[in-house]
A and B are shown apart, each in its own frame.
Chain A
Amino acid sequence: MSYTLFIATATPLYSSNSQDMLEAAMSAANAELTVKIVFAFDGCWQLTTQSGKQQNRKDINKQLALLALYDIDEIFYFMPPEAAKNSLSAISFAQTIERIDEFDSLVNQATHVMVF
């Protein structure tokens, strides 16, 4: 099955990259593309932040909760920073990718890949 893969690599406070990624992913889903999302490397911090409003940005946790409404239900995280691991283990909507070859496979099988 073809899909478009969105990869979030930026930390939450550094830029609006992940916000831009989520909006693009939702738009792609609206265009009836099958969408998968990977929070990779420093992008994993997006899943742990609790302070979206305080950082003068949209609350990313609320947006993540909306993804199911767009039929985006394949969400992964890969290689979280050591300090984030405990927080991520409690996340139910995202699956962990344990090995680099799993990540490679997800990328190689995608029809399109967008990196933010």
Chain B
Amino acid sequence: MAIFAVFITKAPYESNNAYSALTFCREALSSGHKIQQVFFYAEGTQIASTLSSFDSSETDIKSLWVAFKEQHNIPLNVCATAGIRRGMASKEDNMGHDNYDAHFEPVGMLQYFQALRASDIISVQF
């Protein structure tokens, strides 16, 4: 059994990476592997926004990630620093708005790299 940490850097509207990552996570779990966390960085932070919406003809990738979180309770971490640069703010940022979906958690980037210190964790980037 492998333990994966998944790192996503592309916005849902600019690439298929977030969907590919979700497919990877589903298949990994169904094959008996573990996902330690999913970390959204750079443009990938946009997926956590409550302000984004998808056309009815498009795949609502955020809803799919939310369903994944509800089913498996795997942390969906978002880099707070990269997010705030792109208009993503939480209550803790004291910017007068909170546009983080409740299923995603703004965290420091250390959270991802500290996890990689464990010798058995494999980082997979999308």
Q: Does A pair with B?
A: yes
Name A residues whose Cβ lies closer than 8 Å to a Cβ of B.
2, 4, 16-17, 20, 23-24, 27-28, 30-33, 111-116
B contacts with A, residue count (CB < 8 A): 18
Q: How far is the CB of B75 from chain A (nearest CB, A)?
A: 17
**Contact yes or no, A28 B113, CB < 8 A:** yes
Q: How far is the CB of A63 from chain B (nearest CB, A)?
A: 14
In the bound complex, CA of A114 to CA of B6 (Å): 11
B23 within 8 A of A: no
Which residues of B20-59 have CB atoms within 8 Å of chain A's CB atoms? Answer: 41-42
**Contact yes or no, A33 B113, CB < 8 A:** yes
B42 nearest CB neighbor, chain A only: A20
Which residues of chain A have C-beta atoms less than 8 A from B42's C-beta? 16-17, 20, 116
In the bound complex, CA of A114 to CA of B113 (Å): 11
Which residues of chain A have C-beta atoms less than 8 A from B109's C-beta? 23-24, 27
Which residues of chain A have C-beta atoms less than 8 A from B114's C-beta? 31
In the bound complex, CA of A12 to CA of B40 (Å): 22
Q: How far is the CB of B118 from chain A (nearest CB, A)?
A: 11
**Contact yes or no, A24 B125, CB < 8 A:** no
Which residues of B40-95 have CB atoms within 8 Å of chain A's CB atoms? Answer: 41-42, 81-82
Query: Given A17-B42, A32-B117, A33-B116, does the pair A27, B110 have CB atoms closer than 8 Å?
Result: yes
**Contact yes or no, A115 B125, CB < 8 A:** yes
In the bound complex, CA of A57 to CA of B122 (Å): 32
In the bound complex, CA of A32 to CA of B112 (Å): 12
Which residues of chain B have C-beta atoms less than 8 A from A2's C-beta? 119
B104 within 8 A of A: no
Q: How far is the CB of B36 from chain A (nearest CB, A)?
A: 13
Q: Which of B82, B113, B114 has the most CB of A within 10 A?
A: B113
22 A-B pairs in the complex with CB atoms less than 8 angstroms apart: A2-B119, A4-B116, A20-B42, A20-B82, A23-B81, A24-B41, A24-B113, A27-B108, A27-B109, A27-B110, A27-B112, A28-B113, A28-B116, A30-B110, A31-B110, A31-B113, A31-B117, A32-B117, A33-B117, A111-B116, A112-B123, A114-B125
**Contact yes or no, A114 B117, CB < 8 A:** no
Contact of A114 among B108, B122, B123 (CB under 8 A): B123
